[in-house]
Chain A
Amino acid sequence: MGTHITTQLSTYSQTHSFHLISKPIRVSFISPPHFIGAKNHRRSMAPKDRKPHVSRNPELIRGVGKYSRSKMYHKRGLWAIKAKNGGAFPKHEKKAVAAAPAEKPPKFYPADDVKKPLVNKRKARPTKLRASITPGTVLIILAGRFKGKRVVFLKQLTSGLLLVTGPFKINGVPLRRVNQSYVIATSTKVDISGVNVEKFDDKYFGKKVEKKTKKGEGEFFEAEKEEKNTLPQDKKDDQKTVDAALIASIESVPDLKSYLGARFSLKAGMKPHELVF
């Protein structure tokens, strides 16, 4: 385990006799668990659970323990375990390994080595929500057909997008998904406790799957298109229920309703990097 290094004897040690002079100084490679003695006790732990023992060999510096190997042997009581077992360290029989079923040689060896893709342990999770965005925050939408609209944040969906509503009666923004990057969070909060948003998820907002129609003539297509343009009634009802509770809490704050109805715009002299939202 260790390499033997003979040190150059200094004049001091030549004149003064040490018992160490004849022995070469052994330097062992630092393999911390064995040398320092930490967690070696797994071997001496009985099958029933014992508290994992902290190292009996305090660390002087990283990689150097206080006690030598022989001292640690004595401290750990390996001599006692051997004595109990009649001179040798107790050996447990190896568990019989069930013979693995005989593997057939593969039918096909590719000509060139096939590269294995690297292991990827990343998990998909929703985008990290900014600390300033909490349920009930008034957000300013910065892009899309509703740019500039001030809107109430409801919750973050599993895809990471934010579920948002105008409310529809106040500014025409329906229940809608919005990306966090296209939004400024203001510090104004609306009380959202009376609103139940459990039923809304990404599937609710997904595009409806069209049944495959046979390629008919021109008239066929026009008829289909007209049907799709109207919103289904249950979505309108969802909007009404969500907004009813919201509008009640909005009207309790003076000027908040007209605030949400107005669009945000930069005027002369406004410096966005200096504005507090």
Chain B
Amino acid sequence: MPFKRYVEIGRIALVNYGKDYGKLVVIVDVIDQNRALVDSPDMVRGQMNFKRLTLTDIKIDINRVPNKKTLIAAMEAADVKNKWEKSSWGRKLIVQKKRASLNDFDRFKIMLAKIKKAGVVRQELAKLKKETA
């Protein structure tokens, strides 16, 4: 019921709309009720409406509006990239991206693999059923 993820300096957020869709950004300052100053190692620091951001669990330790070097160092220290890629949200996004980039041949190979896996599972199930029967 209570909120767990707060807008604060150092909060990592995911951009969910616009030119930088899908990027992880750090909130480095709050401009007013609706906008935050936002920065990332690969983008120019700029403002973004909170509606374009989805807060994540990750927070880093920075002062208000650090310079790029400090920001990058803080992100390395907190190991943001690995934490994100290990989290279930991050893993889901990676899988979505992979699925979207699949080739026609890749989709065919995946289909064969799924059928094979299902076959193996069914065999095991049949074995287990026979034992308990």
A interface residues, Cβ below 8 angstroms from B:
138, 140, 150, 186-188, 255-256, 258-259, 262, 264, 274-277
Given that A255-B112, A258-B112 are known contacts, is A140 also in contact with B105, CB under 8 Å in the complex? no
List, in ascending order, chain B residues with CB within 8 A of A138's CB. Answer: 104-105
Q: Do residues A256 and B104 form an inter-chain contact, with CB atoms below 8 A?
A: no
| A256: nearest chain-B partner, CB-CB | B105
Stretch at the interface among B23-31, B36-44, B95-103: B95-103
Complex: chain B residue closest to A140, CB-CB: B104
Report Cα–Cα, A264/B103, bound state, in Å.
13
How many residue pairs at the A-B interface have CB separations less than 8 Å?
33
- Can you show 26 pairs from A to B with CB atoms below 8 A apart? A138-B104, A138-B105, A140-B104, A150-B104, A186-B103, A186-B104, A186-B105, A188-B103, A188-B104, A188-B105, A255-B105, A255-B108, A255-B109, A255-B112, A256-B105, A258-B108, A258-B112, A259-B108, A262-B108, A274-B100, A275-B104, A276-B100, A276-B101, A276-B103, A277-B103, A277-B104
Count of residues in B whose CB is under 8 Å from the partner chain? 9
Which residues of B does A touch, CB under 8 Å? 100-105, 108-109, 112
With the chains together, A259 CA to B104 CA distance in Å?
A: 9
Residue on A with the closest CB to B111?
A: A262
- Across the interface, which residues of A come within 8 angstroms of B105, CB to CB? 138, 186, 188, 255-256, 259
Give, as a whole number of angstroms, the nearest-CB distance from B64 to chain A: 41
Q: Quick one: closest B residue to A258, CB to CB?
A: B112
Closest chain A CB from B130 CB (angstroms): 32
Could you say which of A187, A255, A274 contacts B103, with CB atoms under 8 Å apart? Answer: A187
